[in-house]
Chains A and B, each alone.
Chain A
Amino acid sequence: MKLPTGQIYAKAMLDELGVVGVTDVRDVAAQLELEVSEVEVDGFDGALIRAEGVSFGAIAVRRGILEEGRKNFTIAHEIGHYVLPGHDKCDEVCLDSDVGNWSDAGKQLEREADEFAAELLIPTSYARPRFSETTPSLQTISALAADCRASLSATAWRYCDLAPYACAIVWSKESRIAWSRASAEFDFFIEWGKYLEKGTFARDLFEGCKTEGDSPSPVRADLWLDSRRLNEGAEIYEQSMFLRNYRSVLSLLWIKEPISKQDDTEDLLPELDPFGLDSVKRRH
């Protein structure tokens, strides 16, 4: 059984400190006697400096990080390492990741610290009602990122966890899908590493031949999703944004109406699918 360790500990932290609404992570660090220093370094984004058995320490953050939201996320991530059980035992927890990379799912401790940071910065109790108020759009995500002083990628990730829509976010770099995250309702697989198809707004943005849309617009569903399961002419909604600092494109995909074919196997007698394999779905 996999428990959302980071999220549970972040909730406990918010409760203990009596934080309501948006979290000031620097204030949380100060309350934990963790001094935050911005340093001129190149070799890391953030580091936790501590000593065994001592109840104060420091967090070093790379001054060159462009987004304030990402600096905050880094601080929250290091606070996570400071308070999460088992994180004090390891000598070094490294994440040799690229910008906005949420794909290192195999690294359990890093995953926990990321979960912790996401909940601390973008608390469920604050974000869920706001995500439910409006239909999916990158503006909704950007607005909450600004409110919470969080990075766009972290807020987009949270959006898929908390919004009640069939939607996914996709981070693309050099015209290829770097990582994606889908809501529980988004019942399709998005292939990582795949080149973006011509005709997607994301691809257009990489080729510099289209401007960003103000809202999600229809696009052929088979350009993003497995065509074998789609109704003929099915469309999904896509909104993409070019992130100049990262030379990446962030896309929001939204399945507004049913697009799947009636699955033929659904009507099979139970004895023809005794293990319920038909219900096993792949998703990120």
Chain B
Amino acid sequence: MNKKSNIEDRRSRLNKLSEAVFGGPEQISREEARELLRSAGIDADTIADAVYARLYKQAQEYWMAQKPLPPLLKKAIEDLRPSTASPRNEKEMATQAKARIERVVGQSRHPDAWIQSTTPAFRPSAYRGKKKLSTKDESALDEIAKRLSDKLKGPQGS
């Protein structure tokens, strides 16, 4: 048995064991998977981005050798294309927009469903029509930031 087939055998065995313990991919919805990962403190997008980066590197070897991508690699790259990657056309952007807006709205409906090891600081991140800020301006912003911080601490602190 050569080394390559040995690795494939191991992967196959690992897949079988994993499916026996956790079930097959078809037994869990995308949302449930995200939710489970989130509750375990794992961000699905971060994993997807990391896997994408690794697969992209592999794909580059094919591109440099001017060879066609294996179908599964091609599909994985298409499926995992991160939301931050530049869309190539309006349709792709509309798909990304839909996914992002769904996520933002979904998170807003469950504002407590985030896990953070440190308490993040609220601060102004964007201004419109900004000039020089006076002390009065800064204290107005500080007051809002404090109110938000209190809201954040509220349910968790108790």
Report A's interface with B, CB cutoff 8 A.
1, 3-5, 8-9, 11-13, 15-17, 31-33, 35, 37, 39-58, 60, 62, 74, 77-78, 81-83, 85-88, 90-97, 110, 113
A-B contact pairs, 12 of them (CB 8 A): A8-B93, A16-B105, A33-B111, A40-B140, A41-B134, A47-B127, A50-B123, A51-B123, A51-B148, A53-B116, A90-B126, A96-B131
User: What are the residues of chain A within 8 A of B96 when measuring CB–CB?
Assistant: 85
Query: Which of A3, A32, A43, A110 contacts B104, CB < 8 Å?
Result: A32
Q: A8-B90, A49-B125 are in contact. List 16 more A-B contacts (CB 8 A).
A: A8-B93, A12-B98, A37-B144, A44-B128, A48-B124, A51-B152, A54-B152, A57-B148, A58-B144, A60-B124, A74-B129, A78-B126, A83-B101, A87-B126, A92-B125, A110-B128
CB-nearest residue of chain A relative to B134?
A43
Top 5 A-B pairs, shortest CB-CB distance: A45-B129, A55-B107, A51-B120, A12-B97, A43-B137
A235 to B96, CA, bound (A): 47
Judge if B84 is at the interface, Cβ distance under 8 Å: yes
**Nearest Cβ on chain A to B82's Cβ, whole angstroms:** 10
Judge if B4 is at the interface, Cβ distance under 8 Å: no
- Determine if A3 and B93 form an interchain contact, defined as CB atoms under 8 angstroms apart: yes
- Determine if B121 and A77 form an interchain contact, defined as CB atoms under 8 angstroms apart: no
Most buried by B among A8, A45, A93: A8
- Determine if B101 and A56 form an interchain contact, defined as CB atoms under 8 angstroms apart: no
A90 to B128, CA, bound (A): 14
- Determine if B101 and A16 form an interchain contact, defined as CB atoms under 8 angstroms apart: yes
User: What are the residues of chain A within 8 A of B110 when measuring CB–CB?
Assistant: 55
A78 to B129, CA, bound (A): 11
- Determine if B130 and A44 form an interchain contact, defined as CB atoms under 8 angstroms apart: yes
Judge if B62 is at the interface, Cβ distance under 8 Å: no
A172 to B75, CA, bound (A): 54
- Determine if B127 and A92 form an interchain contact, defined as CB atoms under 8 angstroms apart: yes
A78 to B127, CA, bound (A): 8
Report B's interface with A, CB cutoff 8 A.
83-84, 87, 89-90, 93-94, 96-98, 100-102, 104-105, 107-108, 110-111, 113-114, 116, 120-134, 136-137, 140-141, 144-145, 147-149, 151-152
CB-nearest residue of chain B relative to A91?
B125
CB-nearest residue of chain A relative to B140?
A39
User: What are the residues of chain A within 8 A of B116 when measuring CB–CB?
Assistant: 53-54
- Determine if B125 and A54 form an interchain contact, defined as CB atoms under 8 angstroms apart: no
User: What are the residues of chain A within 8 A of B140 when measuring CB–CB?
Assistant: 39-41, 60
CB-nearest residue of chain A relative to B107?
A55
Given contacts A46-B127, A47-B128, A54-B120, contact A13 B107 (CB under 8 A): no
- Determine if A49 and B130 form an interchain contact, defined as CB atoms under 8 angstroms apart: no
Query: Which of B84, B100, B128 contacts A45, CB < 8 Å?
Result: B128
Given contacts A45-B128, A56-B108, A77-B128, contact A3 B137 (CB under 8 A): no
Given contacts A41-B140, A47-B126, A90-B125, contact A9 B131 (CB under 8 A): no
- Determine if A92 and B131 form an interchain contact, defined as CB atoms under 8 angstroms apart: no
A73 to B12, CA, bound (A): 56
- Determine if B131 and A43 form an interchain contact, defined as CB atoms under 8 angstroms apart: yes
A13 to B144, CA, bound (A): 25
- Determine if A95 and B130 form an interchain contact, defined as CB atoms under 8 angstroms apart: yes
